[in-house]
Amino acid sequence: MIRQGTTSLIDTCVWMPTSLEEAWDLKKKYGENAAFIAGGTLMQTHWAKGLNCPSHLISLDHMNEMKGWGEELVNGQTYTRLGAGITLDFCRQNKNLFHPLLVEAAKNIAAPAVRNRGTIGGNIANGFGDMIPALLAMDAFLTLYDGNSTHSLPLSDYIKTNNQSLIISVLVPEDQTKRFFYKKLCHREAFTPSVITVAGSFNLNEKRKLTAVRLALSGGSTHPQRLYESEQLLEGSTLTNNHLQKVYQVINEEFIPSTDPFSTATYKRLVASNWVVSEIARLAT
């Protein structure tokens, strides 16, 4: 039986720290030879494909800071705080606790057995998770630990850098007034990596103008992106066919997907532009 990659696991040492400081010190000590791990559902698929498993795994299972959920007031705004260790299935199942866009995203990730193990923190930290566009569309923040202190950072800033901080929790504004959409293009209907994932949100004021527009995209091989120029073009606008055509063109220019063995960047741009424009038109009428 072929078990590519798994032999590298035999000599792996697993650490079970109980504090952020301990976890961070272990990572500092072992550097590139160590990796933080929670559910590990994605990491294990990488190792099975032949990527070397680090010789030290630092389990985050005992981090109390990464567990549970609750409300937090930050600068007068109420946020839902989700511990990074919350599973994707917990997000999917708790419609009464979490923003519907978060629930919708969780519903579209993997399959039940994987969602029972995979965490929201892991989905973000891997850099390509399908939760990221939804969280970007909701203006989510991350609480991070960098070895010295705990601080908050907008997810939209986090994705721009190769941030190595430990994700402790995700803060989602409790604003349920915005209209939103979430769509994922895959090679089959369920449980398959995303070709592209599109999420957006906006308010529609009494004059039928769009405000607080957020558009975010990603994919299995495409880094998450906010479409700032397209958002700007929609901000304060009243939708007309001419304006939507202009938005379509700008999305097509602004979105930079990758070409992979199955889909070209041109195709992904086409789908993204079509989806965003049609979803905004649908939700704004």
Partner 1 sequence: MDMKEQAEVMTPPKMELSLTINGANYELQVPPTKRLVTILREELNFTGTKISCEVGRCGACAVQMNNQLVNSCLVMAYQANHASIITIEGLSGEELDPIQRVFLEEGGFQCGYCTPGMMMAVHALLATNQAPSEEQIQEALSGNLCRCTGYGGIIRAVQKAISNNNQK
Contact residues: partner 1, CB under 8 A:
1, 3, 6, 9-18, 22-23, 25-26, 29, 40-41, 44-45, 48-49, 53, 57, 59, 61, 89, 110-114, 116-117, 189-191
Q: Residue 118 or residue 257: which is nearer to partner 1 going by CB?
A: 118
Instruction: Report, in Å, the least distance between residue 59 CB and partner 1.
Output: 7
**CA pair distance 137, 180, nearest whole angstrom:** 8
Least CB distance to partner 1 at residue 7 (A): 11
User: What distance in Å separates the CA atoms of residue 202 and residue 200, rounded to the nearest whole number?
Assistant: 7
Two tokens at 89?
A: 């299935």
Considering the complex, state which of residue 21 and residue 157 has its C-beta at the smaller distance from partner 1. 21
Sheet holding 210-219, edge to edge: 179-186, 194-204, 210-219, 222-226
First-to-last alpha carbon distance for the chain, in angstroms, is 57
Measured from the CB atom, the residue of 68 and 236 that comes closer to partner 1 is 68
Report how far apart, in Å, the C-alpha atoms of 136 and of each of 91, 139, 198 are.
16, 5, 10
Contact yes or no for 135/155 (Cβ under 8 A): yes
- Rounded least distance, CB 117 to partner 1, Å: 6
Residue closer to partner 1 (CB basis): 89 or 104: 89
Distances (CA, A) of 8 to 15, 32, 204, 282: 17, 15, 54, 50
- What is the smallest separation between the CB atom of 53 and partner 1, expressed in angstroms? 7
Element (H or E) spanning 154, and its range? Answer: strand 150-154
In the complex, what is the shortest distance from the CB of residue 106 to partner 1, in angstroms, rounded to a whole number? 12
C-beta of 25 vs 175, nearer to partner 1: 25
Least Å distance between CB 93 and partner 1?
Answer: 9
